[in-house]
Amino acid sequence: MGYISRIKEEIKVIRQRDPAIHSNMEVFLYPSFKVMLHYRLAHKMYQKKHYFLARWISQRAARKTGIEIHPGAQIGKGFFIDHGNGVIIGETTIIGDNVTLYQGVTLGGTGKEQGKRHPTIGNNVMISAGAKVLGSFKIGDNSKIGAGSVVLEEVPPNSTVVGVPGRVVKRNNISLPQDEMDQVHLPDPVKEDIAQLRESNDLLTNRLIELENAIKQMQKGNSDGK
């Protein structure tokens, strides 16, 4: 794809995903737009083994935008970073198509791995603000990572992950279109666990009351029969 075509594609992606953008000219001020143009150039240099030049371009972009994308990362079509300050994407990260990241997201390693050290992100994935995905594993297609979650193991497709460490909540294996990916209305597994404990406690309490009443009736019947 040529340079002009790449610019047009980035403008289209940003305008589709961000309702705050009112014109194509505004897109040129957008951090996601700036960093992706730098990344595409840096990645091309990286593939040609011009490693120093590739890192120089990517670090220059990081200083301007607050978004650090290693030039060795592989990023698909329709990639979008909303706001983006504090986003970090590691060298061996692989990102599929139509992926959305919010500010403060880290796609990093654990520091204990060699070779492929960073995650693989499937298609149509949304990773919410402040989430950390650490390690060499895959986030399945159509999945959502809740804000502030720390994901340390593989996530099946069509899943929602919340918490520290991240816990998977299945979504009935139904594909989630990009425009339905809502980072606000996420399930809370801790709240669900507490609700289940309360329900179990209520059942046990009612059972104890029934047993106590039964014992009292037995004792009353024995005393009446004497």
CATH number at 87 reads 2.160.10.10
pLDDT at 167: 83
- The reply to whether 194 and 88 lie within a common domain is no
The length of the chain is: 226
- The reply to whether 145 and 202 lie within a common domain is no
- The reply to whether 212 and 167 lie within a common domain is no
Task: State the total domains in the chain.
Answer: 2
**pLDDT of 176 higher than 50:** no
Within 13 Å and on the Cβ side, how many CA atoms surround 208? 6
Query: CB of 176 within 8 A of CB of 142?
Result: yes
- The reply to whether 104 and 196 lie within a common domain is no
pLDDT at 141: 92
Q: Closest Cα partner for 141 from 160, 157, 162?
A: 157
- The reply to whether 107 and 192 lie within a common domain is no
pLDDT in tens, 15-37: 777 777 777 888 887 888 889 88
Q: How confident is the model at residue 183 (pLDDT cuts 50, 70, 90)?
A: low
Where b means 16+ CB within 10 Å and e means fewer, 5-16 reads eebeebbebbbe
- The reply to whether 124 and 208 lie within a common domain is no
pTM of structure: 0.72
pLDDT at 179: 45
Q: Which residue has the higher pLDDT, 19 or 90?
A: 90
Structural domain of residue 152, as residue ranges? 3-183
- The reply to whether 151 and 208 lie within a common domain is no
Query: CB of 144 within 8 A of CB of 160?
Result: yes
Please tell me the distance from the alpha carbon of residue 125 to that of residue 141, in angstroms, as a whole number. Answer: 6
- The reply to whether 162 and 76 lie within a common domain is yes
Q: How confident is the model at residue 119 (pLDDT cuts 50, 70, 90)?
A: very high
- The reply to whether 89 and 115 lie within a common domain is yes
Contacts of residue 18, Cβ cutoff 8 Å, sequence gap at least 6: 30, 80, 82
- The reply to whether 97 and 71 lie within a common domain is yes
pLDDT in tens, 121-151: 999 999 999 999 999 999 999 999 988 899 9
- The reply to whether 133 and 210 lie within a common domain is no
- The reply to whether 169 and 80 lie within a common domain is yes
